[in-house]
Structure 1
């Protein structure tokens, strides 16, 4: 089969990075043939970095109608993902979208419906699913190493941002410009991994988002969310852009022990017998607990690698050979479901059941957008 011809939409930092990788033949079975960006000043950069055979388009319709591409990587700001993706599917193109998939779940559902109607391959750039640290963690949990999950706790507060970061662009940290704050800007990978490694989504969420707690911004910069799962397990997700030094610690407890992921390492505490069994049957000292063995779990591979090329290669293989996607377009809904539910819980001051009421969320979001200081409507 001929190489899959790829076009890139959006030549910001990440779009340029993907373009150079493709132009340097880093993705087997793919070739970069076209790029699209509204900024006409990109012409010289394209010639110098991508070569004479890659055509730059500054007109969207000309790009889509060029007959030069089989699939597109959408690397624009996330508020524009839905419109562009649906347009691409209407032109019978395969699509890979950067994270987050969109601002709210209904958008991503529309993208998936368009993908199904077109019969094209729709993938998400959840490149952290290729991080050997989280691959190993998922394997440990799915193998039953912890038994039944009882609690999940992720404290991810090492996103510190000074006010100057938010002041660097008028759309930053505004409801109309981004549709949210730390949850949609910094945390999409962690929210995806949170449900992916344990293999289940919560059944309901109660969250407390603080808007502009540490910064002069409209959106959330501090979040504490409590979740409950169908099996009775509970979870906690804490995140912020206002704490220094921050923490990145994921702890997963089960009936057979616990796993902690911190500082690029996995530590397992394994019980000799299930905690529930020991509690019911042990007749000795009332303060005793099951025998515990601490195990440092080896992880092979670079846990700091971004693995973007791995996701692009998987998408190209799915187009050419029908390979199963690492992160399908449908997977883009789950992390957004979590962030949307946390915001909706705060706005309604109540529990939110999953799947969320998408229309109710959009109604509340639109109220925030209408009052936003910028009107780049998401």
Structure 2
């Protein structure tokens, strides 16, 4: 068994580490404090070929595997969780439905600019009354005038309000089948479509530099060719691409745990109390040992799930396990690292306070911890 990353992946990782250290980390605190979306960073990520990592080269992407994607996510997330989470939403749930179910024409028109980094993508699923219950969406799409008329609202949507957004991929209900069950479909709505608008940028506990808004659709008409995949298959299409999204959020979790470990070690070695560094106190050293151990355990869960995906083997259970464990490890790591910082950690100017605030959403987004446990239990019990 070889646990080393391929040399090509390590080279990519080093390149992204240098970029993140020079272009992201020094200004991350400023972006967070000002709730500023750093557009220029995503433009540069596009120039580096990183905005379409999971998209084939024929559509402007890099055609990378999931293991390489996770390695890049680690480096971006260590520098700043807001940038990494925005990049993740763009790279997975915003682009994968187009890649997987779009026609060649749709891919050329919408996916290629996203993969090249000329625009950033968004996916509209969550609604005020539909989160974990994806089938509970009430946004409607009805056939009208040779196309579709959309009405409804989405909330907590990433990237849609940025100045480089070209549109949003969304899930809507198209009616009911003969048994009274909802039918769903996926649509692409360009930013300049009449009737489509974005609300204010929401004030969040963390991820302050990530654009998050409510989206409104009021008699929003789109042509027939904006339907992605088959009508009636929208929910199934969304669920089919969800597992890779879970791996990517799990990668966010291990990046945060790694950042927390680094900050805890640095502070523990530099902070003096009672005439010696606090790293010399067993209570502090044990906290660091726990963070490091859990980070390593989470890291290999995440990379194994990514490797299974690359091998074309089943990985739903492993993706859920990785997302569950890595997100909870990230929260414990951030909490323990802040405890090691003491009062300094409670001050917003401290770097650990930003990571602490960013950690909680990892247990919620892309499926809550409770949903992950449901998925895992059903797989283990043979109920899925």
TM-score (norm 1): 0.24
Higher relative contact order (CA 8 A, sep 6+): 1
Higher helix share: 2
Higher strand share: 1
TM-score (norm 2): 0.24
